[in-house]
Amino acid sequence: MSKKVKDFGIEKTLKNLGIKDENKGTSTGGKYFASGKTIESYSPVDGNLIAKVKTSGESDYDKVLETAQNAFKEFRLIPAPKRGEIVRQLGQKLRQYKNDLGKLVSYEMGKSLQEGLGEVQEMIDICDFAVGVSRQLHGYTMHSERPGHRMYEQYHPLGIVGIITAFNFPVAVWSWNTALAWICGNVTIWKPSEKTPLCAVACQNIMNEVLKENNLPEGISSVLVADHEIGQKLVDDKRVALISFTGSTRVGRMVSANVAQRFGKSILELGGNNAIIISQDADINMSIIGAVFGAVGTAGQRCTSTRRLIIHESVYDEVKNRLVKAYGQLKIGNPLDESNHVGPLIDTDAVNMYQEAIKKGKKEGAKFIVEGEVLKGKGYESGCYVKPCIAEVKNSYEIVQHETFAPILYLIKYKTLEEAIAIQNDVPQGLSSAIMTQNLREAELFLSHAGSDCGIANVNIGTSGAEIGGAFGGEKETGGGRESGSDVWKYYMRRQTNTINYTASLPLAQGIKFDL
């Protein structure tokens, strides 16, 4: 490891999480499989090599699937509250490792240390939520139209749940799916992003401790560090009952089609093109805070990042000027330094997309009031640091209609709330949305049938920062399905209607009789 890695204190963090210089990236909780290529994980913070991970090959994949199938046969028979106890113990382990795992998330992915720690806290929170749900996997009892009959419905586990996650939330999204899948009696196979493999190895190492301490079979929790071809096998495999996919709309469209073709289930968390409407009746101070955090948090690499500000013409100039002033105060640098607001993009490919989006925007007529640039010099050696920028645009611009995973904020002016809502909805994506207003009528209209068409709609809160208790997900090209809270557990189970006849006769439908 380089001297710079040691200077950041990462060496001790990696040791505490069981990360070595070279790691086997595929584990079923008991055995390790690694016959594939070796991938190297470089930090976008300083460009240094963190560690290497040996991936799985096709023969490894089949062994992982077989192990998971066998584990499911045993795990599904454990009572749900006892499965909840396993999740509770995982939550306790995450509390124990929170600082180390949060630091690794920050260093391998590039988000601020506060956000890295917050992501681990989300994992802890979903474990707490799932423990409660494990005692409430309820069905319904219905009155039968036939005398002496009782009807009810119940839920059963699906089997193997495949989880494919993106780099921007390298641990939290896995936990959203896993905690609920487990309390429902399923087993999980996690295919993480190749850009953040060490975070996945660390999580599996933590879970291995829980499995071992409870003498549970391997295969309940598996991590499959591999390339996209193995990910495709997971998507196409009939043995995998549910695929939860987080990623681009382009790839998500293919995942959806392939899983549907084999009559599997899918949860899709795809692109977002999120807007905040700032009303003439908004608290401007709150609006600026919400907009800046939403636009530059995680360097604009959240699916819920604020991409567009739709601002009433009467407060447009004030909001614009205050945003320019706020952006001038942003500190960009090492995300492990808590005095910095913005860290790096994930890699130089992301930097290229950022530059290309700015170029396309200017070509279409975007007026940049805060110019973007790639930062160079001391502290920016990785080549992944960029300056958050702001542009005045029309919503119809092609570049505005697409999601760019970078800190580019678009400003759009409106006259009436109906116009603002139409602008908000006039994009292919439908994940998160918000309105800043102190006008009750405006707030209620925004939340009504004639309002936001997104899966998430907030009032006086930005587009980023969803709570565990609410179902998370979007509409339109954002995909479909939900993760995290509410009654999302039902996605991880199959529904069954049961009728019991406790009489000595058998009445038939439509009054049909057989004289036998």
Catalytic residues: 269
Identify the H or E element spanning 94: helix 80-96
Q: How far apart are CA 254 and CA 250, in angstroms?
A: 7
CB-based contact 297:464 (threshold 8 Å): yes
CB-based contact 45:107 (threshold 8 Å): yes
3 state DSSP class of 28: coil
User: Burial, 482: exposed, middle or buried (Cβ in 10 Å; 0-12, 13-18, 19+)?
Assistant: buried
Q: Which residues pair with 306 in a beta bridge?
A: 274
Indicate left, alpha or beta for 300 from its phi (over 0: left) and psi (-120 to 50: alpha).
left
**Nearest CA among 231, 236, 261, 260 for reference residue 247:** 231
Q: How far apart are CA 514 and CA 135, in angstroms?
A: 44
**Torsion angle of the four alpha carbons 314, 315, 321, 324, in this order, in degrees rounded to the nearest 10:** -130
Indicate left, alpha or beta for 514 from its phi (over 0: left) and psi (-120 to 50: alpha).
beta
CB-based contact 144:150 (threshold 8 Å): yes
Please provide the distance, in angstroms rounded to a whole number, between the alpha carbons at the two ends of the chain.
83
How would you classify the pairing of strands 32-33 and 26-27?
antiparallel
Q: How far apart are CA 28 and CA 14, in angstroms?
A: 21
| Helix-helix angle 316-327:284-296, to 10 degrees | 50
Q: How far apart are CA 194 and CA 440, in angstroms?
A: 46
**Nearest CA among 133, 236, 112, 14 for reference residue 468:** 133
